[in-house]
Amino acid sequence: MAAKIQVSTTVNGEQRRFQCEPQQTLLDVLRDELALTGTKEGCATGDCGACSVMLDGRLVDACLVLAAEVQGKKVETIEGMAQGEELHPLQRTFLEHNGSQCGICTPGMLMAARALLERNPDPSETEVRYWLAGNLCRCTGYDKIIRSVLAAAKEMRGA
C-alpha cells in the first residue's frame, strides 16, 4: 500500500486537511473523507457531470481530479452555494420551476449553471443547453432545468 499523501486545501472557504491515497480522486475525498456528500457520483469517468465542482474558479468533474492535486487550491461545492439560509438565485429558481426532480443531478447542474452565469450573465436557451450538455439528467427532459437557469439569469441581471 502506497503511503498516504497529506493535503491541505480550502473547501467552501474553510481550511481543510486530509490524507489520501495517490489514486483517490477529489470526488472520493469530498464524499468519504470530508463528508461532503452533496457532490454526486454518476459515472466516475467524466461523462455525467454529477460531480461538478469549482477548482480555483474553474468548473471541473471532481471524479477526474486527483485529490492530491488540490493541495493549496480552492474547492467550491454545492454545500457552499447558499449563504446560510439564503439560497442562491439558481437554487431558488430550481425550486420554483421544479428543475430538480429526483435531485441526483441537481448539485452538478447548479454548480455548472452558476459557472455559466458567472461568465455569461445573459445566455440564450441554446447557450444554456450547450453549456449543460456535460450534465446528464434522466428525469426532467431538461425543459424545467433550462427554464430555471434562464429565470435565475434574468433575476440576477435585475431584469
Partner 1 sequence: MTNILEESGFDPNRKLRIVGTSPVKPDGRDKVTGRAKFGADLALPGMLVGKVLRSPHPHAIIKFIDTSRAQALPGVMAVVTRDDFPEIPPGTGEGDLTRNVMAREKALYDGHAVAAVAATSESIAKQALKLIRVDYEKLPHVIDAVEAMAPGAPILHEHLRAEGIKGAEDKPTNVVERQEFRMGDVEAGFREADVVIEREFRTCPIHQGYIEPQACVANWTKAGRVELWCCTQAHFGMRDNLASILDIPKEEICITGAEIGGAFGGKTIMYAEPLAIQLSRKAKRPVRIVLNRNEVFRATGPVSGTHSRIKMGVTRSGRFTAAEAEMVYQCGAFTGSMYYNGAQTMFTRYDLKNAKAVAYEVVSNRPKVNAFRAPGVPPVVFGVESVVDELAKAIGMDPLELRLKNAATEGYTTIYGETFGPIGFVETLEAAMKHEHYRAPHSGPNCGRGVAAGFWWNRAGDTSGKLRITADGSVNLLLGTIDIGGSRVSMCMMAAEELGIPLERVSAVIANTDQVSYNRLTAGSRVTFSSGIIVVDCARQAIAELRRRAAAAWNVSEQEVVYEDGTCRLARAGGAAPLSMAELVKRGGPISCSSTLAVTGAGPGFGVHIVDLEVDRETGGVKILRYTVVEDAGKAINRHQVEGQYQSGAAQGVGWALNEEYIYGEDGRLQNPSFLDYRMPVASDLPMIEAVIIEVPNPKHPYGLRGVGEVPVVPTLAAIANAITSAIGVRPYELPMSPPRLLKLIETAGTSKS
CA 46 to chain centre: 13
For the record, the C-alpha cell of 100 comes out as 430538480
Q: Which of 7, 11, 18, 40 binds partner 1 (CB under 8 A)?
A: 40
Compute the distance between CA of residue 105 and CA of residue 4 in angstroms, rounded to an integer: 31
Separation of alpha carbons 95 and 97, rounded Å: 6
33 binds, among ligand FES, partner 1, none (CB under 5 to 8 A by kind): none
Rounded distance between C-alpha atoms, residue 106 and residue 85, angstroms: 18
Instruction: Verify binding: residue 75, partner 1, rule CB under 8 A.
Output: no
Partner whose binding site includes residue 8, from ligand FES, partner 1, none (CB under 5 to 8 Å by kind): none
Nearer to partner 1, 25 or 72 (CB): 25
Q: Which is nearer to ligand FES, 138 or 157 (CB)?
A: 138
- Nine cell digits for residue 102: 429526483
Q: Which three cell numbers stand for residue 81?
A: 452555494
What distance in Å separates the CA atoms of residue 94 and residue 50, rounded to the nearest whole number? 16
User: Binding residues for ligand FES, per CB under 6 A?
Assistant: 41-44, 46-51, 61, 63, 100-105, 137-140
Which entry of partner 1, ligand FES, none binds 150, CB below 5 to 8 A by partner kind? none
Sign of CA dihedral 133, 139, 143, 145: negative
Which residue is listed with cell 454548480? 111
Kindly tell me which of 84 and 106 has the beta carbon lying closer to ligand FES. Answer: 106
Segment near partner 1 (CB under 8 A); pick from 54-62, 64-72, 101-109, 151-159:
101-109
Site residues (CB under 8 A) for partner 1?
1, 21, 23, 28, 31-32, 35-45, 47-48, 50, 77-79, 81-82, 87, 91, 94-98, 100-107, 110, 125-126, 128-130, 132-147
